[in-house]
Structure 1
């Protein structure tokens, strides 16, 4: 039996104020859910953090972490990613996936021709984008929609990609 990799649920940002609070960017549907997962760890499990208090700010949380009481201590945490064990996350509904489940899946066409591997899921504000790295060449950024990704088969370890015929802005005749 393989142990599931830990899931990144937050990243500590800059210090906030002088009493050890930090900006905390969460990657959960409910930003405040990080308070309820229990201790959060670094990816290697070497360090552990407990969110004592958190409040919503503009695009992040302002959080206090157990044992962090000064601005200097908070500044040293900037950039640390926080993880939890996969089994602490709620089950997904049908047609819902954790990004971590998709990374590494084979990407194939509807005819089964290999396109590459999923290397990332991005969201720049207008919806999810799936990044596919082919064996050679530049990676492809495609909308992660049902039209472009009609099938996600976690058991088979693959996603089916329907490549768009053209991409907005592509005009081979333009000079």
Structure 2
């Protein structure tokens, strides 16, 4: 296991519809760059694939659907998008065997749904996104985005500037073993 001891920033957003979640993804995609890893966490139906569809649209990809049964979908664009869904994996060993580092090293944007099943994500150029239900309406989502690495922090600051009323906050340093930037 790696030790995460990098400065990070956090952005908290609420979306009120599926379309707003997809639009948030488009904003993330607009600022994405080669080698970026996006880790998605959230229960079934929380909007991980919707967010990915928005990212893909901004990158110029065609139709995106969840790769649950094929594990990895490759989408051609100016910056290729690799969309992985680890829901069906039984262990982190299976996730580690998927060779995500190769995609990252080749300049793709890597989006990983059910990312908690991958125990060795990169220690830089990473957005860690938690999507959860909030409020009384089934469509309301709380989205917390954390950045790991200077370039990812710059992306988060640019994203915050795109979203009226949002504030990007410094959280300090994370130290300890584990694969996630959050508890």
Instruction: Give the TM-score taking structure 2 as reference length.
Output: 0.24
Which has the larger helix fraction? 2
RCO (CA 8 Å, sep 6+): is it higher in 1 or 2?
2
Structure with the higher fraction of residues in strand conformation: 1
Larger radius of gyration: 1
